[in-house]
Structure formats: C-alpha cells, structure tokens
Amino acid sequence: MPDAEVLALSQDMTVSRADFLRSLAQAAGDARFVVAGPEIRHVDGECAWRIVLTPLADLVIGSIRLPRHRVAIHLAGYDPAATRRFLERFELYFRRGGG
C-alpha cells in the first residue's frame, strides 16, 4: 500500500480533457491508469499517482477560445528523485510550442 499522498503539482493548463488524456497516455509510457470522472489513477506496488482535472472557464483571446483545466498531481510512495523524474517527464509531454 502506497504512503500518504503528497500534492506534487497544481497548475492551470490550456488543454482540453481529450487532449490531456491523449498526452497522458504517451507520458505514462507503459503505466496503466484508470479514468473515473475527474480523476485519473495509477498504482504500482508501493507507488501511486492520482491526477485531478478540474474544468475552468475558457481562455478567450479575441475570437480564439482555449479550453482550460486545473491539473493537480498527487503522488504517494515517491522519493524526491522519483518525484522529480515523474514531473520532468510530465512536463516534457505537455510542453507546448517546443519549450
């Protein structure tokens, strides 16, 4: 059973739910996860992660509308180095505009 959860990251992202899930599938690699409403969960032995997607109002710039979500990543059982690797991989797959 994983240790208590720690909020590792909370940020607003301009991304649709469908695009987020598509990118997460790539970022997760071989990790299988379960989507249940606003939560996405993965457990692997002593480690687990949970991502909560909260819809926000669209970002409107003139005639452009961009969907937004607050993304909260909770980790359990990760040491500081593993947390850093997880967040770096997440950022890599969700980076927009080439960096």
CA of 91: how far to CAs of 1, 5, 74, in Å? 27, 20, 15
Domains defined for the chain, CATH in brackets: 6-94 (3.30.1370.80)
Residuewise pLDDT in 10s, the chain (99 residues): 466 899 999 999 999 999 999 999 999 988 999 999 999 999 998 899 999 999 999 999 999 999 999 999 999 999 999 999 999 999 999 986 544
In this prediction, residue 98 carries a pLDDT of 46
Can you give the pLDDT at residue 30? 87
CB 96 within 8 A of CB 59: no
The SS3 of residue 82 is helix
pLDDT computed for residue 95 by the predictor:
84
Residue type, 47: C
Q: Where are the beta strands (DSSP E) in 25-63?
A: 34-36, 39-44, 47-61
